Amino acid sequence: MANSSAVHLQRAPALVIRLPEGVDFALPLAGPMARFLALLVDFLVEMAICYVLGTVLQVLAVLSFDVMRALFVLMYFLVPMLYGVVCEWWLRGQTIGKRMMRLRVMDATGLRLRFSQVLLRNLLRPVDSLPACYLVGGAAFFLSRRGQRLGDLAAGTIVVRLPEDDDEPDLSPLGETGKYNSLSDHPVLAARLRQRVPAAEAAAALAALARRNQLEPAARVEVFARLAARFRALVTFPEESAADLSDEAYVRNVADLVFRRPALPERFKLQAPSLKEAPKG
């Protein structure tokens, strides 16, 4: 890793990787319940593999009962031991359980996962599973800042949670699409607003709009007054577009500007220029 890059922890349970280029990105760490459920699924998969293989191996009893028994012994030893290693190597940090729970094993510094890391984190499970039910591993998980069990610590790996495919916000509180928005008459200011509204504040505005009918009248007025004041402080729109709007309508229009834009990729794929235009090197 380059000297100028650094890895540190946010207060949130995420690993933040700071690139030498001065850009940060966060990898949300997997929680204990998701990891436990992935482990449970993997256990069931291992049992299923043993059951299927065992059924096939029984045919060998016709030839030699001893050989069949030997293969049974090896199967019950190797399948649980190698299942994690093979899956995590071939599926790039995922087992079937992890894939179902949208988890992935990653190098703790953001580099490419190496085979030795996959091998080590899986073969060190005996220590983590001590004295029973992964108590040592669980304790290490809660004590570690990065949610690492001992195997992860030794292998230099972390388990991250992959973002959901459909975690786009619910925009129904904004009302119908295409409704007139006086703020959109000023595209320059609208673009500036989109840029300046922090994600948390945009989400708060959307949540306030979604729950407005559940608020006490006085609280409703206060919440939207505060939000509107905050957004007005970020970008000042001309009087003729903003003066007649109530605080609640102003917040709704701001949220509409921030969240409702046509999906980018489809449009851009249609208009994408030739790759030849990009400068080389």
Give yes or no for residue 145 binding other proteins (CB under 8 A).
no
Give yes or no for residue 43 binding other proteins (CB under 8 A).
no
Stretch that binds other proteins, among 21-29, 36-44, 220-228, 242-250 (CB under 8 A): 21-29
Given 38, 50, 57, 155, the residue binding other proteins (CB under 8 A): 155
Judged by beta carbon, residue 44 or residue 74, the one nearer other proteins is 74
Give yes or no for residue 154 binding other proteins (CB under 8 A).
yes
Q: How far is the CB of 244 from other proteins (least distance, A)?
A: 25
Stretch that binds other proteins, among 38-46, 174-182, 213-221, 269-277 (CB under 8 A): 269-277
Count of CA atoms in the C-beta half-sphere (13 A) of 33: 0
Give yes or no for residue 2 binding other proteins (CB under 8 A).
yes
| Cα 138 from chain centroid (whole Å) | 21
Give yes or no for residue 236 binding other proteins (CB under 8 A).
no
Given 6, 45, 119, 221, the residue binding other proteins (CB under 8 A): 119
Give yes or no for residue 280 binding other proteins (CB under 8 A).
yes
Residues 55-84 that bind other proteins (CB under 8 A): 64-67, 69-74, 77
Is 53 in contact with 73 (CB distance < 8 Å)? Answer: no
Given 21, 176, 216, 240, the residue binding other proteins (CB under 8 A): 21
Stretch that binds other proteins, among 50-58, 172-180, 215-223, 256-264 (CB under 8 A): 256-264
Give yes or no for residue 227 binding other proteins (CB under 8 A).
no
Give yes or no for residue 188 binding other proteins (CB under 8 A).
yes
Given 9, 48, 139, 191, the residue binding other proteins (CB under 8 A): 191
Structure tokens at 126: 């005996």
Give yes or no for residue 266 binding other proteins (CB under 8 A).
no
Q: How far is the CB of 157 from other proteins (least distance, A)?
A: 9
Give yes or no for residue 150 binding other proteins (CB under 8 A).
yes
Give yes or no for residue 27 binding other proteins (CB under 8 A).
yes
Give one word for 67, left, alpha or beta, with left for phi > 0 and alpha for psi -120 to 50.
alpha
Q: How far is the CB of 263 from other proteins (least distance, A)?
A: 8
Write 109-114 long-range contacts (CB < 8 A, 24+).
109/1, 109/7, 109/17, 109/156, 110/1, 110/7, 110/17, 110/27, 111/1, 113/88, 113/157
How wide is the angle at C-alpha 245 spanned by C-alphas 240 and 246, nearest 5°?
155
